[in-house]
Amino acid sequence: MDEAQAVELARQAVTLAGDAGAGAAEASVSIARRFHAEARENVVARLEGSTAKGLLLRVFRDGRKATLSTSDLTPEGLRSAVERAVAQAESVAPDEYAGLPDELGSSGASLELADEQISTRDGGEKVDEALELERLIRAADARVVNSSGSHYTDAVAVTAIANSTGFAAAYTSTRAGRSTGPIALDGEIKRIAQYGSASRHLAGLEPIDLVATTAVRRAVDLFGARKPPTMRVPVIFERDVAASVLEDLFAAVSAANVAVGNSWLSGQIGNRIGSDLVTVVDDGTVPSGLGSAPFDGEGVATRRTPVFERGVLRSFLYDSYYARKLGAATTGNSTGGGVGPSNFFLEPGSVSLGELIAATPLGVLVMDTIGFATEHASGTYSRGARGFFIEGGELAYPIDEFTIAGQYTEMLAGVDAVAGDLRFDGPVVSPSFRIAEMTVSGN
Count other Cβ atoms within 10 Å, centred on residue 271. Answer: 10
**Cβ–Cβ < 8 Å for 368, 241:** yes
- The predicted pLDDT at position 42 comes to 87
- Show pLDDT as tens, one digit a residue, over the chain (443 residues): 899 999 999 999 999 999 999 999 999 999 999 999 999 988 999 999 999 999 999 999 989 999 999 999 999 999 999 999 999 998 899 999 999 999 888 877 789 999 999 999 999 999 999 999 999 999 999 999 999 999 999 999 999 999 999 999 999 999 999 999 999 999 989 999 999 999 999 999 999 999 999 999 999 999 999 999 999 999 999 999 999 999 999 999 999 999 999 999 999 999 999 999 999 999 999 999 999 999 999 999 999 999 999 999 999 999 999 999 999 999 999 999 899 999 999 999 999 999 999 999 999 999 999 877 678 888 999 999 999 999 999 999 999 999 999 999 999 999 999 999 999 999 999 999 999 999 999 88
Orientation angle between helical segments 75-89 and 3-19, nearest 10 degrees: 50
Domains present along the chain, CATH in parentheses? 3-220 (3.30.2290.10), 225-443 (no CATH)
> Within 10 A of 170 (CB to CB), how many other CB atoms are there?
22
Residues whose CB falls within 8 Å of the CB of residue 312, separated by 6 or more in sequence, listed in order: 270, 271, 272, 273
Q: Where are the alpha helices (DSSP H) in 189-238?
A: 208-220
Q: In what order do the strands lie in the sheet with 312-313?
A: 312-313, 304-309, 280-283, 344-346, 428-429
Q: Give the DSSP H or E segment for 413.
A: helix 408-413
Cβ atoms < 10 Å from Cβ of 270: 8
The pLDDT value recorded for residue 110 is: 87
Cα separation of 73 and 158, whole Å? 15
CA distance 161 to 83: 19
State how far the Cα of 356 lies from the Cα of 152, in Å rounded to an integer.
32
Q: Closest Cα to residue 217, out of 388, 362, 371?
A: 388
Q: Among residues 45, 388, 400, which one has the least CA distance to residue 190?
A: 400
Name the 3-class secondary structure at 38. Answer: strand
CB 185 within 8 A of CB 220: no
Q: What is the pLDDT of residue 442?
A: 86
Strand duo 144-163 + 64-70: pairing:
unpaired
Q: Which of 51, 2, 29, 34 is nearest to 176 (CA)?
A: 34
